[in-house]
Amino acid sequence: MGQVFSMVRDGLVSLASRMGTERDKAASVFYTQPILTDEQIIAAYRGSWLPRKIVDIPALDSCRKWRNWQAASDQIGLIDAEERRLNLRGKVLEASTKARLFGGAALFIGSEDADPALPLEMERVGKGGLRHLTMLTRRQLSAGDIDSDPTSEWYGKPKFYTLTGANGSQVTIHPSRLVIFKGAMTPVEEFGGLGNHAWGESVLAATFDAIKNADSTAANIASLVFEAKIDIIKVPQFSANIGNQAYEDAVLRRYALANTIKGVNGTLILDAEEEYDSKSAPLSGLTDILMAFLQIVAGAADIPVTRLLGQSPAGLNATGTADMKNYHDRIQAIQELDYTPAMSRLDECLIRSATGSRDPAIYSTWAPLEQMSEKERADIFKTKAEAARALFGSASGEEIIPRPALSEALLNAFVEDGSLPGLEAAAKATDQLDEDLEHPKMGSDASQRSAAV
């Protein structure tokens, strides 16, 4: 009795169908640690379109609309100019792409400080203090010892990073000078691999099997296309004479000439004793099979099929709006939960380098990814205009917000969303015209008074 009830399991078991027993074929299925070398990653990224799109699309969508700075118009212009000078948008795109590909990348903040091993002092960054931004991958940066002090800001992170140059020289970099971008999360640090404990892992690691299955299916379908139609010719005494080399050569020349004459719309010439037949392989259903594998890839990559394949939504009355909305929500979460904390120190230095000081009222928000139609833009513009009219009030003294402040805020809003192109320049020109009209008037009054005297 002890041997009969030696093991008690909580699960679905059927002795008749062998489901859940040791004879169940699924009982031998288990997961192993994925091993994906950098050489395999590079080969897949360069040689297959699916890995490239899985890596590139989320990174591109995260930087496609970029950010909206909330500040005075002149401050926004300075910050935008500083971002263009540093090519910040392009560097973030490159770093996020390399992070998804290799598991990690970083932007080195090049400031006026001479020693990169010391912590970055953001308060000392002045006008033009940001010299450059350098993109470095996990393959170039090696992490140092992990900070085990729970009271430290860098607890659980490397105390320093080491950059090895082409000539073998090494540079120690403090983590405060790096904007770290990580790939897919590593659940347990010990399994991150040697030298990889400070980074994530490639997003291709969890999707590699699905990608290979889809690529293999597409390759097999392509091979079947070449075998879709087979010509069958029955030749008398073919097997009896096949051992004769002269006969084999004659047969090859004979049917090579017949195929040349036949072509696509030509005529096939055969002997009276020969029989011709044609067989076609059924190809129906192969598209559905391939699409099923591609849908698995899309699910593994967490990218909608319409975005991954660039096709229209399938199905009656299907718009794909819900799928794209969920995808855009995911991209927004990546921007706010990953990019914003990683770029916080860089943004502090960017504001100081652009404006020369740190105005606490300056901040940025990520621009929405939703593409609005012209009608939707017009409706939003109308709603903003009606709201502004209500805030202004119908007469002086009835306004909820002071009119100059509301005018400035409304002007910035229209400039940011591009509702009225050229509005900012026109407003400045109008202000300048008012000043020009006011000063000559004051000058003419003074001349009249002097003439009267």
Q: Domain coordinates of the chain in residue numbers?
A: 32-205+301-371, 210-287, 372-443
Residue 337 pLDDT more than 60? yes
Higher pLDDT, 113 or 182: 182
Nearest to 161 by CA among 148, 175, 147: 175
CA–CA dist 271, 30 (Å, integer) = 60
Q: Is the pLDDT of residue 311 over 50?
A: yes
> How does DSSP classify residue 123?
G
Q: How large is the average pLDDT for residues 239-264? A: 82
* Confidence band, pLDDT 50/70/90 cuts, at residue 1: very low
Angstrom distance (rounded) from CA 388 to CA 394: 11
Predicted confidence band of residue 216 (pLDDT cuts 50, 70, 90): very high
Average pLDDT, the chain: 83
Phi, psi of 171 (to 5 degrees): -125, 130
Task: Please give the full DSSP string across 44-77, using - where no structure is assigned.
Answer: HHHH-HHHHHHHHHHHHHHHHS-EEEES-HHHHH
Distance (Å, whole) CA 310 – CA 293: 16
Using DSSP, state whether 13 is helix, strand or coil. Answer: coil
Give the angle subtended at the CA of 155 by the CAs of 104 and 89, to the nearest 5°. Answer: 35
Task: State both tokens at 359.
Answer: 């105005």
Q: What is the pLDDT of residues 242-253, one digit of tens each?
A: 888 888 888 888
pTM beyond 0.85? no
Helix axes 49-64, 38-47, angle to 10 degrees: 90
Judge contact between 356 and 74, C-beta under 8 A.
Answer: no
Comparing 182-191, 301-310, 374-383, the range with the smallest average pLDDT is 182-191
Contact criterion met (CB below 8 Å) for 339 and 65: no
Which range of 209-213, 394-398, 416-420 scores highest in mean pLDDT? It is 209-213
- Window from 145-154, 232-241, 342-351, 422-431 with minimum mean pLDDT: 422-431
Phi, psi of 276, deg, nearest 5: -115, 135
The fraction of the chain above a pLDDT of 90, given in percent, is 44
Q: What is the pLDDT of residue 389?
A: 81
Q: Which of 4-8, 221-225, 394-398 has the lowest mean pLDDT?
A: 4-8
270-284, 380-394, 414-428: segment of lowest average pLDDT: 414-428
In total, the chain counts a number of residues equal to 453
Q: What is the dihedral of CA 415, 411, 434, 395, to 10 degrees?
A: 160
- Ranking 14-28, 46-60, 161-175 by mean pLDDT, the lowest is 14-28
Q: Worst-scoring range by mean pLDDT, 3-7, 215-219, 251-255, 387-391?
A: 3-7
Amino acid identity at 268: L
The one-letter amino acid at 10: D
Using an 8 Å Cβ cutoff, are 251 and 240 in contact? Answer: no
Q: 404 or 170: which carries more pLDDT confidence?
A: 170
Q: Looking at per-residue confidence, does 165 or 89 come out higher?
A: 89
Q: What is the largest CA-CA distance in the chain?
A: 135
Closest by CA to 142, choosing from 99, 199, 204, 96, is 199
Measure the CA–CA gap between 409 and 400, rounded to whole angstroms: 14
Question: What is the residue-wise DSSP string for 154-220?
Answer: TTTSBS-EEEE-TTS-EEEE-GGGEEEEE-BPPSSGGGG-TT-TTS-B-TTTTTHHHHHHHHHHHHH
Q: Which of the two residues, 275 and 180, has the higher pLDDT score?
A: 180
Answer yes or no: are the C-beta atoms of 122 and 352 closer than 8 Å: yes
Query: Under a CB-based contact definition with an 8 Å cutoff, are residues 408 and 391 in contact?
Result: no
pLDDT tens for each residue of 128-158:
999 999 999 998 999 888 888 899 888 888 9
Residue 14 has pLDDT above 80, yes or no: no
* 333-359: average pLDDT: 95
**pLDDT given for residue 193 in this prediction:** 46
* 8 A C-beta contact, residue 178 and residue 99: no
Contact 134/98 with Cβ under 8 angstroms? no
What average pLDDT does this structure show over 371-375?
77
Maximum mean pLDDT: which of 91-95, 184-188, 192-196, 386-390: 91-95
CB 147 within 8 A of CB 154: yes
Spatial distance between the Cα atoms of 450 and 435, rounded to a whole number of angstroms: 23
Q: Which of 238, 210, 168 is nearest to 54 (CA)?
A: 210
pLDDT band at 16 (very low <50, low <70, confident <90, very high): low
98-111 tens-digit pLDDT: 999 999 999 999 98
Find residue 105's DSSP bridge partners: 137, 181
